[in-house]
């Protein structure tokens, strides 16, 4: 890092952002985007950057490039976790899920009870009258369960029209026009920021 004797007048060595010294701070890139993480907790000192740039050619030992690389890779790892979690959330419901099977089983049981009652509805016994109330209740539950399945099915269909961008972790709605879908790729956005971060990581690794 910068020699202790050459501290910035506005902060100590440990306060200074190594990413800023190397010219690419993820906090700055993501500012004013949907991936905004707030201000960088480290100091962005133009004075320190100028001193670093001037000293680096003759004092390569002060290089913070490895620290910078770790920081950028951490940003990409955080992005990858976000993508993984989002894809998991978008996993569509299918007819083979345990919850759907339980709903189907309950509907079948209730429909069976209802059909048995329909065969005996003319029998004027009190137990049948009592059963009538139970069956009416089960019938209403059956309707609600069917509505629940229809809602789940509609949700699954909607979810299958949405994907996660592997570059920036944003949701992409395939029901939109191509022009609208590509808006998240515009310069200065979160997609563009992660492309720059990944490009910088590749550049640093290739230079080693």
**What is the residue-averaged pLDDT of the chain?**
76
**Helix spans in 90-187 (H):** 98-120, 126-159, 178-181
The whole-number pLDDT of residue 53 equals 94
Q: Please give the Cα distance from 112 to 141 (Å, whole number).
A: 13
Closest CA to 91 of 146, 168, 40, 164: 164
Model-level pTM greater than 0.75? no
- Evaluate whether 3 touches 171 at the Cβ level (below 8 Å): no
Tokens representing residue 142 in the block: 């059956």
98-120 vs 126-159: helix crossing angle, rounded to 10? 150
Q: Residue 68 has what pLDDT?
A: 96
Q: How many CA atoms lie within 13 A of 40 on its CB side?
A: 21
**166 pLDDT more than 60:** yes
Give the DSSP H/E element, type plus range, for residue 73.
Answer: helix 65-89
Q: In whole angstroms, what is the distance from residue 98 CA to residue 82 CA? A: 26
Task: Check residue 4 and give its pLDDT.
Answer: 38
Q: What is the pLDDT of residues 1-56, one digit of tens each?
A: 444 333 444 456 678 999 999 999 999 999 988 889 999 999 999 999 999 999 99
Q: What single-letter DSSP state applies at residue 5?
A: G
- Domain range list for the chain: 4-76+182-207, 98-159
51-61 residue pLDDT tens: 999 999 999 88
Cβ atoms < 10 Å from Cβ of 193:
25
């Amino acid at each position: 890092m910068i020699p202790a004797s050459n501290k910035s007048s506005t902060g100590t060595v440990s306060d200074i952002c190594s990413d800023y010294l190397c010219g690419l701070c993820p906090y700055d890139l993501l500012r004013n985007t949907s991936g905004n993480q707030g201000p960088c907790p480290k100091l962005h000192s133009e004075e320190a950057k100028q001193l670093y740039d001037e000293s680096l050619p003759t004092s390569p030992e002060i290089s913070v490039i490895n620290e910078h690389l770790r920081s950028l890779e951490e940003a990409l790892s955080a992005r990858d976790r976000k993508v993984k979690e989002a894809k998991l959330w978008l996993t569509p419901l299918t007819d083979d899920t345990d919850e759907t099977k339980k709903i189907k089983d309950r509907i079948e049981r209730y429909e069976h009870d209802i059909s048995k009652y329909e065969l005996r509805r003319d029998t004027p016994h009190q137990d049948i009258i009592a059963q009538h109330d139970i069956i009416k209740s089960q019938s209403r539950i059956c309707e609600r369960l069917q509505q629940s399945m229809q809602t789940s099915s509609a949700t699954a269909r909607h979810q299958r029209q949405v994907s996660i961008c592997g570059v920036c972790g944003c949701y992409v709605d395939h029901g939109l026009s191509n022009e609208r879908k590509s808006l998240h790729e515009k310069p200065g956005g979160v997609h563009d920021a992660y492309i720059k971060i990944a490009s910088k990581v590749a550049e640093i690794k290739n230079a080693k």
